[in-house]
Amino acid sequence: QQQVKQSPQSLIVQKGGIPIINCAYENTAFDYFPWYQQFPGKGPALLIAIRPDVSEKKEGRFTISFNKSAKQFSLHIMDSQPGDSATYFCAAAVSGTYKYIFGTGTRLKVLA
Amino acid sequence: DAMVIQNPRYQVTQFGKPVTLSCSQTLNHNVMYWYQQKSSQAPKLLFHYYDKDFNNEADTPDNFQSRRPNTSFCFLDIRSPGLGDAAMYLCATSTGGTGYEQYFGPGTRLTVT
């Protein structure tokens, strides 16, 4: 089944903390895993993405960890700031198509 | 330097009155998508185009239709909007190549009265 499970549904951290958002999939026909950040009333914005042949990717304060054997990937936000408060979606691109399957989203709040 | 532009940003229509949402892109991407997003939910793919090739999701209601007259523009037509169609409608584009990066527009918030 083409599904991406995302957890937690919501997350509250203190400024400077490291929130971690997890996603898991069952179908192996995924070949690209992006993360999106969405602020209220705005469209999702691509944050960072990874391919399954890479175990970790860092861009600024954002890191994706990818465990191919466990079919899991996660987003870490280092030194989180109140401005990071948003909803985060993981996604997976279905091989051989142009389609993406989205996770259910995580609402993050970073307290000042 | 807007890349994916959606108009209007807010649309109010009456129950049953047809409405058209538009999307344009300056990226020259081959693939264009329409998603529906309801409050606190993930975007739900309605359909997508690779160039002029149209791909409809199996669970997209017949009430929703789309047109892509050229590479830059794509339209979403809702023939008879119901109250349940009130949502944010997101347009996105992708190269369709190995990059797979998908870029979203700001969305159109549709209200049905």
| Nearest-angstrom CA–CA distance, A48 and B1 | 20
Residue ranges, chain A, pLDDT below 70: 1
What is the number of domains present in chain A? 1
Q: What is the pLDDT of residues B31-68, one digit of tens each?
A: 999 999 998 899 999 999 999 999 999 999 999 999 99
Please name which of B60, B62, B76, B68 lies closest in space to residue B108, comparing C-alpha atoms: B76
What local confidence, expressed as pLDDT, does residue A31 receive?
87
Q: Is B78 left (phi over 0), alpha (psi -120 to 50) or beta?
A: beta
The residues facing B50 across adjacent strands are B31, B53
A-B Cβ pairs (cutoff 8 Å, strict): 52
Q: What is the pLDDT of residues B88-110, one digit of tens each?
A: 999 999 987 655 788 999 999 99
Average model confidence (pLDDT) across chain A: 94
B101 contacts B4 by C-beta, under 8 angstroms: no
* Structural domain harbouring A55: 4-111
pLDDT band, residue B84 (cuts 50/70/90): very high
Q: Search chain A and give the residue with CA nearest B98.
A: A32
pLDDT band, residue B1 (cuts 50/70/90): low
Q: Which of A42, A89, A100 has the CB atom closest to B107's CB atom?
A: A42
Q: What is the pLDDT of residues A6-31, one digit of tens each?
A: 999 999 999 999 999 999 998 778 98
Tokens representing B99 are: 């990059």
Residue ranges of the domains in chain B? 4-106
What local confidence, expressed as pLDDT, does residue B96 receive?
74
- Asked if B81 reaches chain A (Cβ–Cβ under 8 Å), the answer is no
Q: Which amino acid is at B97?
A: G
- CB–CB of A98 and B43 under 8 A? no
Taking residue A1's Cβ as centre, other Cβ atoms within 10 Å add up to 6
CATH class (in words) of the domain with range B4-106 = mainly beta
Supply the CATH number for residue A12's domain: 2.60.40.10
| Gap from B94 CA to chain A (nearest CA, Å) | 8
Please name which of A87, A86, A57, A61 lies closest in space to residue A74, comparing C-alpha atoms: A57
B26 contacts A80 by C-beta, under 8 angstroms: no
What local confidence, expressed as pLDDT, does residue A28 receive?
75
